[in-house]
Amino acid sequence: MVKIRPFDEQTQTEQPKRRLRSLDLPGENGDITALLRQAAGAQRLAEERLLADLGVTPPQLAALTLIGANPGLLAADLARKAKLTPQTVSLIVANLRRAGLVREEDGAFSAASRARPLALTPEGEKILRLGRERTESASARLTEGIRPKREKALRRWLAAIAAGLPLPGAALDADDL
């Protein structure tokens, strides 16, 4: 097999080999944002498989978790807490309601407002409990073998990214690593 080297016609000289950008490299040498996306995608796929027989998706389980922790939560508040658009949350809540996992409460609300407080049904509480057990065990597998200090640093770094801090790495202490 003959290797073809880049050639510059104007100078009639070989061009030096172009170094691969970090985006081109796989694994731990890859671009950090690409690695985060890949890791999140792999974890989401694992969660989807764990929850499939329960009939809920990871975003639906997240909604059940927030509603379970905050009975009477409005869909608009759910959207803000989950960092999702109101349209996405509306679709998620409609699907959960149709499945009999969420109901609208007869709480104190303005007659002019269409917003209704949300609550879990008994079936929703059961699915939430089963789903959380499964996803918590999958989450625990992610941190197996990591020293507690490093796990704490990893959690702090990921929380800083999620919070939108401009320098998430600044949240780490030198002794965390």
Report CA-CA distances (Å) from 58 to 33, 80, 156.
Answer: 21, 17, 22
Q: Output the pLDDT for position 162.
A: 85
Where do the domains of the chain lie, and which CATH numbers do they carry? 31-162 (1.10.10.10)
pLDDT of 25 strictly over 60: no
Sequence-ordered list of residues with C-beta below 8 angstroms from that of 153, at least 6 positions apart, any chain: 172, 173, 176, 177
Quote the tokens at residue 142. 């992610």
Instruction: Please compute the mean of the pLDDT values over residues 81-86 and round it to a whole number.
Output: 91
pLDDT of 65 strictly over 80: yes
User: Given pLDDT bands bounded at 50, 70 and 90, which one contains residue 10?
Assistant: low
Q: Rounded to an integer, what distance in angstroms lies between the CA atom of residue 158 and that of residue 152?
A: 10
**Are 175 and 149 spatial neighbours (Cβ–Cβ below 8 Å)?**
yes
> Is pLDDT larger for residue 99 or for residue 170?
99
Beta bridge partners of 119: 103
> Which among 22-26, 106-110, 117-121 has the top mean pLDDT?
117-121
pLDDT of 139 strictly over 80: yes
Q: Rounded to an integer, what distance in angstroms lies between the CA atom of residue 112 and that of residue 164?
A: 35
Instruction: Please compute the mean of the pLDDT values over residues 28-38 and round it to a whole number.
Output: 86
Q: Rounded to an integer, what distance in angstroms lies between the CA atom of residue 67 and that of residue 59?
A: 12
| pTM given for the model | 0.72
DSSP states along 119-140: EE-HHHHHHHHHHHHHHHHHHH
